[in-house]
Amino acid sequence: MADILPFHQKRAPEPEPLWREALGQRLRATREEQGGRLVDVAERAGISPQYLSEIERGRKEPSSEMIAAVTGALGVELADLLIGVAGAVRGRHGAGLAVGRRPAGPVLMAA
């Protein structure tokens, strides 16, 4: 249930999502949608399963080469992955914002 705040109080804005977290969530979702196992995707990408797991959990910031290797192992286009990640980040902060611009005032999110 939503908290009831006096009119003059505002909720603290949610922290910006980290790129590596959004990327990892998208990679994991794509792998799971395909029914792929972490070890198999990691092997095709030429990385260890532990490293792929850390990427998917948003613990590691992979290089562009590593992202390309994982998307290749998943059989998805890099551009499609990046659009999905950008959409996930954008969706958390309002879809109507122009690229590179922040809202002028605090953003209130519904509970």
Residue 108 scores a pLDDT above 80: no
| pLDDT for 22 | 93
Closest by Cα among 88, 90, 74 to 27: 74
Unique residue bearing structure tokens 């998805």: 76
Residue 106 included in any domain: no
| pLDDT for 1 | 54
| pLDDT for 16 | 72
Residue 103 included in any domain: no
Q: How confident is the model at residue 92 (pLDDT cuts 50, 70, 90)?
A: low
Asked whether the whole model's pTM tops 0.85, one would answer no
Q: How many domains does the chain have?
A: 1
Residue 65 included in any domain: yes
Residue 12 included in any domain: no
pLDDT tens, position by position, 45-72: 999 999 999 999 999 999 999 999 999 9
Domain containing residue 61: CATH number: 1.10.260.40
Residue 48 included in any domain: yes
Residue 8 included in any domain: no
Residue 14 included in any domain: no
Residue 104 included in any domain: no
**Cα–Cα distance list, 59 to 1, 30, 54, 93 (Å):** 31, 18, 5, 22
| pLDDT for 111 | 42
Estimate the crossing angle of helix 49-56 against helix 19-34, to 10 degrees. 120
Domain ranges, residue 53:
19-90
Q: How confident is the model at residue 98 (pLDDT cuts 50, 70, 90)?
A: very low
